[in-house]
Amino acid sequence: MFTVRLGDDRSLSLRGPPINDSAWHHVAAQRFARTGLALFVDGQLADAIWQPLDRTSVDGTLLLWLGSEGTLDAPSAELDELRISSTARYVRSFSPPRVLGTDEATEGYYP
């Protein structure tokens, strides 16, 4: 699940397919500042919401939770790489890279 809080007790959430096979998967969640959200699983668009997103919180910050937001239903998973980018990397189906790495659009990278 990928959720963006809009700051006024509203949020938008995307859901992908269940992942419970113990295999490696590439998951990419994207927030397009003015047009919506997209969730890709293994390079395929799993869910999307296309509507304006002018704010993400009252003070303008983007809140990011990995797993869950204070609930007991956190997924049982291991992250082997996390990259946060300043630009949308995927807009249609793609072949997921096995290693992410960094480039000029990388804001945070956690190998």
- 3-class DSSP state of 20: coil
Strand ranges of the sheet holding 27-32, from the earlier edge strand across to the other edge: 27-32, 36-41, 44-50
Q: Is the pLDDT of residue 79 over 60?
A: yes
Give the global pTM: 0.77
pLDDT digits 0-9 by tens, 28-73: 888 876 778 889 999 999 999 887 766 555 455 666 666 555 555 5
Q: What is the mean pLDDT of the chain?
A: 79
